Amino acid sequence: MKRAILAGLLLVSYAGYAKGPTPGDSLSRKTVTVYTTAASTKLRLSATDKLSFSPAKQPLETEVCIFVDPAKSFQTMTGIGGALTDASAEVFAKLPKDKQAELLKAYFDPVNGIGYTLARTNIHSCDFSSDSYTYIEEGDSTLKTFNVKHDMTYRIPFIKAAIAAAGGKLTLFASPWSPPAFMKDNGSMLHGGKLLPRYYQAWANYFVKFIRTYESLGIPVWGFSVQNEPMAKQIWESCNFTAEEERDFIKHYLGPTLQRAGLSTKKLIAWDHNRDQIYQRASTILEDAAAAKYVWGIGYHWYETWTGSTMEFDNVRKVKEAFPDKNLIFTEGCVEAFKLDKVNDWALGERYGNSLLNDFNSGTVAWTDWNVLLDDKGGPNHVGNFCFAPVHADSKTGELIYTNSYYYLGHFSKFIRPGAKRIVASSNRTDLQTTAFVNKDGKIAVIVLNTSDKELTYKLWIKGNGTDVKSLPHSIETLVIN
């Protein structure tokens, strides 16, 4: 008797499903708008095609395909953006007013720009500052002299303008490059050195002062990293922590101090250095429950290439697999050794496209470029460490120079919005790389990167339906399914 009732229920269930829309029915009513940026063309985030789906049988092995499965979802996007440094702010302040408006729209307007929703800034000076400075008088471990007067000239007005351009909300996190000189064993903000144990509490208090001061000025602080590049002894502001030292500073000082100050909701980011040692650093900190409870996620950069390595995306994936309850955030990347005659090199954007796509496929929830704007020397930078940015300003004319990395970034930031979930996207050819997200409004964004010299036609295939898409040599496409 029970079997008969169960069989009847199953029949009713399948009959009800048959009357509703099938995946094929749904896709047949959707369109695919293709946006393209391609080498040797004038296409820059240009709408190049509008396609529709039709039934598609099992593809042959000889057919080039991108397979998407919206039913399988992964991490939720926090945001994509760049760094609002002293250097960017100073260059911005020197632009003509119309070019300032142009830059803000280009970066932060989701319709007429690329819609940045995430930003990073520095806690007092970094290499991309015109000088070294802190927010206290030398020797003031009580922080009675704490003030951000230095930032009021360029940086704070720039951050406020960016927030306004982003519609009044911008997810901002901050990073220190070095504690004040007197707190370190080398007596300098530069050249590495270590935070002296007797100043651990004073330095933790400094974070609280920074957050409260910026927020009192109308700049919400979403989170912060413990230390920028804690393994690097640089000629600029830097400070070194072993994994164990960073863990213990979080566990005994920074975490409890934030909690006592009522700031435990701020997102604490550990590591903030390269992918090469990300697993060793993450595991040392996150396997300690007393430290891990304060940590929102692990930040990382892409400069592991300085050792001769390629970008080590698999290390990022291993951290996500081992610590699935923690977040991954790309906190910095730029192309180094600026040369003005190289601003049109196509390799600039392709490096960004390759990193963004693979970092997201490895589980990353947020991605932050380095300086959003630099001058035509790749600065200002007080130690001559000049680098590329997506946009440079011509110091003579005030004109803005958009490198193709700006457009490659835009293929992600404009179409993958906060709250979007990554879904399965799979390529059957090494010449095409892909990732995909479904936004909260239901729109699907599929990114397809072609770094080859070939023009390829592929089929975008979803649940027995497909459409044919052309990929130009050295191009990036965003396919918006709506």
Catalytic positions, please? 229, 332
* Closest listed residue to residue 299, CA positions, set 334, 322, 271, 259: 271
Q: Which residues contact 237 (CB under 8 A, 6 or more apart)?
A: 125, 126, 127, 132, 177, 178, 189, 190
Residue 160: how many other CB atoms lie within 10 Å: 14
223 has which bridge partners? 173, 267
DSSP 308-357: T----HHHHHHHHHH-TTSEEEEEE---BS--GGGTT-THHHHHHHHHHH
Instruction: Using DSSP, state whether 188 is helix, strand or coil.
Output: coil
Instruction: Using DSSP, state whether 90 is helix, strand or coil.
Output: helix
The answer to whether the beta carbons of residues 87 and 381 sit under 8 Å apart is yes
Torsion of CA 82, 85, 88, 90, to 10 degrees: 160
| C-alpha–C-alpha distance, residues 430 and 446, integer Å | 17
| C-alpha–C-alpha distance, residues 206 and 214, integer Å | 12
Torsion of CA 440, 115, 366, 170, to 10 degrees: -100
* Closest listed residue to residue 372, CA positions, set 339, 410, 342: 410
